[in-house]
């Protein structure tokens, strides 16, 4: 799923805006000690999930 579409879906489910979701993700990543943009984090996580699915 494309990043922007994912943001829009999560925002819709939580009655907020995609910008607020992205800001909150950025804050959470910084608190967790990651120095990457939310979009990069989602891409890395998606890549790992795809590899796991294809192995099983």
Q: What is the pLDDT of residues 14-35, one digit of tens each?
A: 999 999 999 999 999 999 999 9
Mean pLDDT of the chain: 88
> N- to C-terminal Cα distance for the chain?
20
Q: If DSSP codes are grouped into helix, strand and coil, which group holds residue 2?
A: coil
* Higher pLDDT, residue 20 or 50: 20
Which range has the worst mean pLDDT, 4-13, 26-35, 40-49? 40-49
Q: Which pTM was predicted?
A: 0.73
CA distance 16 to 19: 8
CA dist list (Å): 18 to 24, 26, 43, 50 = 10, 12, 17, 24
């Amino acid at each position: 799923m494309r990043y922007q579409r994912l943001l829009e879906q999560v925002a819709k489910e939580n009655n907020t805006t995609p910008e607020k979701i992205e800001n909150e993700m950025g804050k959470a990543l910084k608190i967790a000690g990651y120095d990457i943009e939310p979009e990069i984090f989602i891409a890395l996580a998606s890549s790992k999930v795809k590899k796991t699915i294809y192995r099983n």
